[in-house]
Amino acid sequence: MRKLLLNSTAIATVAALTASVAVADVSISAATEWSYSSRSSNVTANDGTTFGTDGEIKFSFTNKTDSGLTIGYVVELESDDTNSAINESSLSIAGGFGKVVLGGNDHVGDNYGVASTDLPSEESSPTVASASIGTNTDISGMDGDANKIAYHLPAMGGLTVGASFTDSGEVGSTDTTAYGFKYKMDANGTAVTIGGATATTEATTTDTDAQNLGVKIVSGNLSFIASQSHLETVDDDIESTGAAISYKMANGMVLVAHTMKSEDDMEVGEEYTKSGVELQYVVAAGLTAVINVDDYEYTAATTPNASGTATNDSGTQSKLTLKASF
């Protein structure tokens, strides 16, 4: 009898402990892509064909507490042509007050900015021999996935707002502060989204400032985005504008056309333009083929500053990408 009583007590204790421990919802997803790129360039080093790979595995954990808080943890493992590493890792706490995100993640400009490159499935920007020119209209990442704190206010109608701060270290270091907003509304069946972001990285001499502003219009199968971005550093003043339009066809294909232009006002004569088309085709559930053709031209500065010299480059890049998601 005593043995039976002890066993019953042990079972009851384990059951009570199990009941008191919250069981998290776990989600695992993955995406990978393989690409073949053919580039025709007047710069010999850029002319030719290449293979490329990129992949990511995402682990998401979610708990809901008795007090109504939602606690989340996300880890993303990335593998590409050059390395494999943890890309992002962050903790989030959400409730009626909004959402706080702590850890290695992009600044809030990534959540709220609207850029013309959001419509193409692949951002197939040919690299050029200058680091001081824009190749898209996204806001600059500036602090990358550095450890930071972000706060997102509760949605107020169609308006969402957020802010983030990266503390890079002791006095004299380069802290980054970013703010972003997005407003969504419906106009007679047409969805309109306006988004923007601004970010500043402090420095002992000249701060680095970046902005983005864009509008997205969706009407049926047709989508359109127009956007601009600005980046100002100690030796760059880069203004970029872009536009893109996409159409979902009856056979499931998506056709995208896009164009952009970037100029550096502190590098006399420096300019980059690109126009292209993209065709997306769903081969099967979870498998998509994407074809990009981009025509570009880069004009080097006639009087370069501290960024150094570069070489004129123009040509065409064609790219086939196979994307799989799990």
DSSP-based three-state secondary structure for 11: helix
- Residue 294 neighbours by CB distance under 10 Å: 22
Residue 253 has pLDDT above 90, yes or no: yes
Q: Has residue 3 been placed in a domain?
A: no
- Please check whether residue 22 lies inside any domain of the structure: no
How many whole angstroms separate alpha carbon 1 and alpha carbon 65?
Answer: 40
Predicted confidence band at 288 (pLDDT cuts at 50, 70, 90)? Answer: very high
pLDDT value of residue 126: 72
Q: In whole angstroms, what is the distance from residue 189 CA to residue 219 CA?
A: 7
Q: Which of the four pLDDT bands, split at 50, 70 and 90, describes residue 23?
A: low
> pTM for the whole thing?
0.85
Which range has highest mean pLDDT (5-9, 239-243, 251-255, 265-269)?
Answer: 239-243
Q: How many folded domains does the chain comprise?
A: 1
Q: Please give the pLDDT value at position 2.
A: 36
Residue with tokens 């949605």: 155
**Predicted pLDDT at 59:** 96
Domain containing 98 — which CATH number? Answer: 2.40.160.10
Vertex 37 angle, CA 31 and 43, to 5°: 140
Q: Is it the case that residue 283 has pLDDT exceeding 80?
A: yes
Amino acid 205: pLDDT: 82
How far is C-alpha 296 from the geometric centre of its chain's CA atoms? 22
Phi-psi region of 80 (alpha: psi -120 to 50; beta: other; left: phi over 0): beta
> Does residue 160 belong to any structural domain of this protein?
yes
Q: What is the pLDDT of residues 174-224, one digit of tens each?
A: 899 999 999 999 999 999 999 999 999 988 788 999 999 999 999 999 999
Answer whether residue 12 is part of any domain: no
Q: Is residue 288 part of a domain?
A: yes
Whether 132 is in a domain gets the answer yes
pLDDT band at 13 (very low <50, low <70, confident <90, very high): very low
Give the angle 283-285-289 at the CA atoms, nearest 5°: 30
- Comparison of pLDDT for 169 and 147, the residue scoring more: 147
What integer pLDDT is reported at residue 235 of this predicted model? 84
Q: What is the pLDDT of residue 301?
A: 84
Provide the pLDDT for residue 172: 63
Tokens of 239: 């203004």
Give the per-residue pLDDT at 306.
53
Specify the higher pLDDT residue, 303 or 135.
135
**Residues 126-152: what's their mean pLDDT?**
84
Q: Domain for residue 27, yes or no?
A: no
Average model confidence (pLDDT) across the chain = 87
Res 7: pLDDT: 44
Structure tokens at 92: 């989030």
pLDDT beyond 60 at 1: no
Residue type (1 letter), 322: L
Would residue 225 count as lying in a domain? yes
- Containing structural domain, residue 287: 38-325
